[in-house]
Amino acid sequence: MNEQQVVEVKNVSFKYEKEWAVEQVDFSIDKGQFLGLVGPNGSGKTTLVNLILGLIKPNKGSIQLFNQPLKHFKDWREIGYVSQTSNSFNSGFPASVLEVVRSGLVSRLGMFRFLKREHTQKALEALKIVEMEEFAKSNIGELSGGQQQRVLIARSLVSAPSLLILDEPTVGIDEKHVTAFYELLARLNKNHGITLLMITHDIATITEHATHLVFMNRTIRFHGTPEEYNQYNGNEPNPIYGHMHQQLNHMEVMS
């Protein structure tokens, strides 16, 4: 047993109908890694994350979370999940930022109402981490896409997860705020010890910030560090990686 292993995907294949969406995927994520999951549209990234979250079951292979087979895994508070949120809340959405963040603890709030003050405290601490404390009383629908995304990250942080999974979190964030957003993720990773798995199309930026990269197109085409990626990228590429790099460049232009 590898104590450091947070996610282990062993030879996993999945098909919705006839076509394989994910085929023989094999990789693991160790504690403390910031792993960027990159691939063209329809390459199986969200399917893979849904498999890891246990929302769908593999046709072949197996998945372990924190060294437990997925079917026995119960402590879902260990895992935070933030999906794409562009325009999640419209301007009339009737909730304050604090209420949205506190709702990350709602399952426990029902049983322990008297702990409400403690939950508010936890929510404020999470807002502080994402530098949104001053917006606690604002209406969520009045914030920008990037600010809303920070609030949703705060909501997933209130239960103190060890692993945070983000599906294209920079969609809807304007370019000048994307760097600050990546800096926030790097801080969560380095200072708070949270392991990160992030789906993105933004190869250039993820390569600067992630500790590890997985490029997939139904199967895994590359798994390694950004340095390893840059090495083959800078040298004569071998045919598989060269082809993948062309595809990735094409994706970058398309996204």
Ligand X SMILES: Nc1ncnc2c1ncn2[C@@H]1O[C@H](COP(=O)(O)OP(=O)(O)OP(=O)(O)O)[C@@H](O)[C@H]1O
Residues that bind ligand X (CB under 6 A): 16, 21, 39, 41-47
CB of residue 15 to ligand X, shortest distance in Å: 8
Residues 6+ apart with CB under 8 A from 55: none
CB of 236 to ligand X, least distance (A): 29
Cβ proximity to ligand X: between 48 and 100 the closer is 48
User: Whose Cβ is closer to ligand X: residue 46's or residue 88's?
Assistant: 46
Q: At closest approach, how far in Å is the CB of 86 from ligand X? A: 13
Query: Shortest distance, CB of residue 201 to ligand X, whole angstroms?
Result: 7
Within 10 Å of residue 127's Cβ, how many Cβ atoms? 25
* Min separation Cβ 109 and ligand X, Å: 32
Which CB, 41 or 91, lies closer to ligand X?
Answer: 41
| Amino acid occupying residue 13 | S
Distance CA 154, CA 143 (A): 14
**55 within 8 A of 83, measured Cβ to Cβ:** no
Burial class (CB in 10 A: 0-12, 13-18, 19+), 76: middle
The residue (of 44 and 146) whose beta carbon lies closer to ligand X is 44
**What is the smallest separation between the CB atom of 60 and ligand X, expressed in angstroms?**
16
139: left (phi over 0), alpha (psi -120 to 50) or beta: beta
User: Got the DSSP string for 215-242?
Assistant: EEESEEEEEE-HHHHHHHHHS---HHHH
Q: Phi and psi at residue 32, in whole multiples of 5°?
A: 90, -10
Torsion sign across C-alpha atoms 114, 118, 122, 124? positive
Smaller CB separation from ligand X, 4 or 59: 59
Q: Which CB atom, from 84 or from 96, has the smaller least distance to ligand X?
A: 84
